[in-house]
Structure 1
């Protein structure tokens, strides 16, 4: 661990020194250029060498910037040293090319000053990069080899002696490089050991001091915000409720929750999150005043206890004030954040008669505020508890109801308005709860989503639809369809098309007789359901758009998805005989359906007048109480018999 830390410091130190080394290289290059110009004049080789040198320096500078930008010296020190050594090697090679490839220099003759400068570069590398022998050698070796080659090329005893002395100098420099690196690492390790020992003593002393402080503050206070903590708040609220009960007074509890606090915590870290909590806590305390008890009771939840005269009005005004105060920007680092809070308010004894009940009531009001869109507060409504308890009971019993067969599929007939023939049925979920009575389909769907039972619920209804399709030929309806409602969110939870394929293959039914009803938001959001809807269409399932006209339909999607039916919402059908606006809207939809060769199904047909009007307007298929209410599958044969009998009587009467 200490060696890793020392190498990390080594990489950081080398990276910091790199800019100075680059500036030194540029200065030395300028001096060498001046010497060459004085002795050799302007030569093409010099200009080409300056270009190569500039590219090497620029590349090394760019690499240094990237290493610093990505903080690799701290995270990957060994790789950083390798990169720096590679850059130094390229830099050294640029120097080495000067007397070999670009300018004809006699470094043992009248160009000896340049040889001295290049030798100085070798020595300087040993001193400046003393923390890394790899980097020093990478820079020095090409220069040394270049000098040696030039000395040998000079010839004679002078060249041999100079080469021999250069070899000795380089050997000595290499030895010093290795020794310096080992000394550097040993020094850093020793320093880190001393720092660890000092830090351990400091931490131990600070820990003792903090424990003493913590023992004093934990009893009543929250360390992050300086507000009261939940333990103190609960005790204080219990005492205030007892006092209020004796004096026949009210106590108000206001719960506040920071909206989407986790996102802020993830974006700015725990330090940023704590800073936000501290700032908002101070705002709450300032706005509440001295008479209120302000506490942080959980990670991002605050509680305020209000007592005294005019509690009801005072607490409502305070809730609104706090919401406005929380909307002011908070600076986290260099970023301005606009926080939002949601609130729930409850009163003793109006909504609860003890501490736990008051907390529960305020929590339910807070939940309602969040469900309503956040950044608002709600006063507890007793009916809210009933709704929440009812939905919770539905969620708890749903899985058992599916397994035991209590969840059923009922079917409502669809009749061709012109021929008065039954052409299909819509499968509708039904559940009679032994305690709660009839459960509305939207409540069942919500509970299934909350309990992750959406697929199991849809499988249950789809299986009943497939079994009905098996029985329809025997009832004289071999071409009748059965439609199945699929919630848009189901397309994001599981592969609907694969599930339906398994069921249709298992029951050996024609998938073209199974119609999938979707709402417009599923059709209009390609990311939500586009791929699966395409799979359903390719497999041969019929697609119907439910509640058509209630959303924002797109003609492009209607054409592209090859929708077979558009179901007009019942709100357009109500009193259509007397409502000119509804007739105009339905006429437009019928015209669209005719243009696209799509059947128009009208829901909510309840009277003879509505039937006649819709038939005259050219609607294809009707569905509603005028024909039949939804019924279990076993009741369909008797209904079909009665319906056919009534149609025969009606035709005879007309004849």
Structure 2
């Protein structure tokens, strides 16, 4: 037990003793007055003298004074503030009363005849016994009264000179000893009971405190588990529960999904501390934009969502999105510098009735991607057109695994040629899937579905295997060596290793990796550091690397120079009608002026006329791909087509 605990328990014990002593002394004083009156009456009747009345005139006021003082102590609250002082006062008052009562047997000759001593002895012992019984909580109070009374009484008995009185006196001494021992023992028992009660109370308080600590810890852990530590908003776990409840409730429900445009650039250029401050500032603005019953959530990174439920959720969600966009029109102060921030926002609303939470989230996600496709910094509400795309996406997601397992997907190969001579230098492998109800599915939709379904590695293995079979078929036909380009999504560069997958396949088929070119879109140039390891692996294994659809993104010249490129493919949107489009001509000329000194070959996609081909060649573009040279063909058809083209070229050379 610590010193602090001991001190606390001593004070608590003193309070209990003082409280009990104050309560018992009231009855003791009433008894004291009654006995004083009866004693005075007996002695006065014994000899009719008045000295006992003088004694009574002092005893009664003293008892009344004690009663008043006890009431004053009780009313003052001193029991709780100064319990030891209360006990000292009670002890001194008891001693004063005891001295006054002890004067009666000591001066029995004054108050009565010797025969009255029997009355006095009986009454004094009785009064002492009562006082001791009533003072069991704190023995000093009862002993302070009893000691002078019993000492005077025993002394007076022994002074009588009668042998029988000696025997009575010895009995009185023994009785006094027993009474005093009982008083001390009673205090010990009271103390033990109070200490047991205090320990029980301490234990109960300790258990209650421990329980409160556990509850507080559980609440804190629950708060941590359900709140985002950076922003204090609800986190993804909380969102799952709250969104599921909202969707099951049958009320209207809406999700407002958004992220910070170009947030990665902020992180990379200004540092992660600045990025965290941006996220925290956006979270504060989001709180201010939300209604009292809306649930703002940080899903992770720079992605946020708000859950709304109740009536008119579509209009409320749109109003919330506009408030947030309006708040972001003012630059944020980040590390003492102004920073302009915009958000792309997608909204999905369901007017009422139970709905699966994933359906609502997928719709909001589709609306968000539409906002990004429309140039970012805008709001898009999921509509009927998106609904068709959403249903198609669900159809693709549901049927792609089975279609891939049943071999319903295949590749077609479109030739790539030298613009000046028409010589075939390679083919692009194009993924095809004709869905039984949706028709021909665009390759990007297939690849995005495979990524969502975590089938992208398996799909790439299928594409790579078919491309290697095609190259082996070309070699077996005696065709001159050509390359094959395989499309890979930039997202796959961080999900798995396309280079390892294709390296394993080329080794299994005995194909030189330099005959396989990996095409990625411009998106990979936005953050070459994130894809650096896989890009280095592609170069190390000897695969070619091409940037597809160049010109439609926002990649910079510095990014173009940061990776080991072999080929740049100009998007078909710049090729179509280039003969008459001065602006596109200038763009293509600029691309060739940058790419050729770097050693990159340039392929124009979507060449459909001889005029386009000639214009492209004059602008510095050496290679072309499009229907002018050949449509995408099945592998066997492409082998036969190339063999026929070679035969035709041989006949032309013979005739020449």
Specify the alignment match of 1:431 in structure 2: 433
* Aligned partner of residue 537 in structure 2, secondary structure: helix
Distance of 1:574 and 1:652 partners within structure 2:
36
Change over 3 Å in CA distance of 1:617–1:340 after alignment to 2: closer
Within a 5 Å distance, the mapping from 1:36-185 to structure 2 comes to none
Deviation, 1:280, is: 8.2
Specify the alignment match of 1:500 in structure 2: 502
1:50-73 CA distance string (max 9 Å, x none): xxxxxxxxxxxxxxxxxxxxxxxx
1:67-87 CA distance string (max 9 Å, x none): xxxxxxxxxxxxxxxxxxxxx
The TM-score normalised by the length of structure 1 is: 0.51
1:115-137 CA distance string (max 9 Å, x none): xxxxxxxxxxxxxxxxxxxxxxx
* Aligned partner of residue 605 in structure 1, secondary structure: coil
Specify the alignment match of 2:354 in structure 1: 356
CA RMSD of superposed structures (Å): 4.9
526-535 vs 387-396, greater mean Cα deviation:
526-535
1:353-399 CA distance string (max 9 Å, x none): x6236999866654445444699765441232222221122122222
- 8 Å contact 2:256–2:317 — kept in the other structure? no
Distance of 2:407 and 2:448 partners within structure 1:
19
Specify the alignment match of 1:420 in structure 2: 422
Deviation, 1:588, is: 3.1
Deviation, 1:496, is: 2.2
Question: 1:197 is matched with which residue: 181, 204, 207?
Answer: 204
Distance of 1:625 and 1:503 partners within structure 2:
30
* Aligned partner of residue 198 in structure 1, secondary structure: helix
Specify the alignment match of 1:391 in structure 2: 393
Specify the alignment match of 1:306 in structure 2: 311
Within a 5 Å distance, the mapping from 1:211-250 to structure 2 comes to none
- 8 Å contact 1:601–1:622 — kept in the other structure? yes
Change over 3 Å in CA distance of 1:203–1:389 after alignment to 2: farther
Specify the alignment match of 1:139 in structure 2: none
Within a 5 Å distance, the mapping from 1:462-541 to structure 2 comes to 462-523=464-525, 525-541=527-543
Deviation, 1:485, is: 1.5
Distance of 1:414 and 1:254 partners within structure 2:
49
- 8 Å contact 2:258–2:368 — kept in the other structure? no
Specify the alignment match of 2:605 in structure 1: 603
Change over 3 Å in CA distance of 1:207–1:571 after alignment to 2: closer
Change over 3 Å in CA distance of 1:470–1:366 after alignment to 2: closer
* Aligned partner of residue 528 in structure 1, secondary structure: coil
Deviation, 1:476, is: 3.6
- 8 Å contact 1:254–1:319 — kept in the other structure? no
- 8 Å contact 2:578–2:615 — kept in the other structure? yes
The TM-score normalised by the length of structure 2 is: 0.50
Deviation, 1:454, is: 1.3
- 8 Å contact 2:321–2:345 — kept in the other structure? no
Within a 5 Å distance, the mapping from 1:445-456 to structure 2 comes to 445-456=447-458
* Aligned partner of residue 544 in structure 1, secondary structure: strand
- 8 Å contact 1:366–1:377 — kept in the other structure? no
Deviation, 1:491, is: 1.3
Tell me the number of residue pairs that the alignment of Structure 1 and Structure 2 aligns.
400
Deviation, 1:534, is: 2.1
Distance of 1:560 and 1:281 partners within structure 2:
41
Specify the alignment match of 2:164 in structure 1: none
- 8 Å contact 1:484–1:517 — kept in the other structure? yes
Specify the alignment match of 2:412 in structure 1: 410
Change over 3 Å in CA distance of 1:296–1:531 after alignment to 2: closer
Gaps of 5+ in 1: 7-189, 209-223, 239-251, 261-266, 268-275, 287-293, 330-337, 349-353
Specify the alignment match of 2:32 in structure 1: none
Within a 5 Å distance, the mapping from 1:560-579 to structure 2 comes to 561-579=563-581
Distance of 2:513 and 2:483 partners within structure 1:
10
* Aligned partner of residue 535 in structure 1, secondary structure: helix
Distance of 1:640 and 1:340 partners within structure 2:
50
Within a 5 Å distance, the mapping from 1:335-354 to structure 2 comes to 344=347, 346=349
Distance of 2:637 and 2:511 partners within structure 1:
22
Distance of 1:587 and 1:281 partners within structure 2:
50
Deviation, 1:607, is: 0.9
Deviation, 1:520, is: 3.2
1:381-419 CA distance string (max 9 Å, x none): 123222222112212222222222112121101111222
Gaps of 5+ in 2: 6-196, 216-233, 235-241, 261-272, 274-281, 299-304, 332-340
Deviation, 1:585, is: 2.5
Deviation, 1:601, is: 1.2
* Aligned partner of residue 426 in structure 2, secondary structure: strand
Specify the alignment match of 2:621 in structure 1: 619
Distance of 1:441 and 1:630 partners within structure 2:
13
Specify the alignment match of 2:637 in structure 1: 635
* Aligned partner of residue 580 in structure 2, secondary structure: coil
Change over 3 Å in CA distance of 1:441–1:196 after alignment to 2: farther
Change over 3 Å in CA distance of 1:191–1:321 after alignment to 2: farther
Change over 3 Å in CA distance of 1:403–1:444 after alignment to 2: same
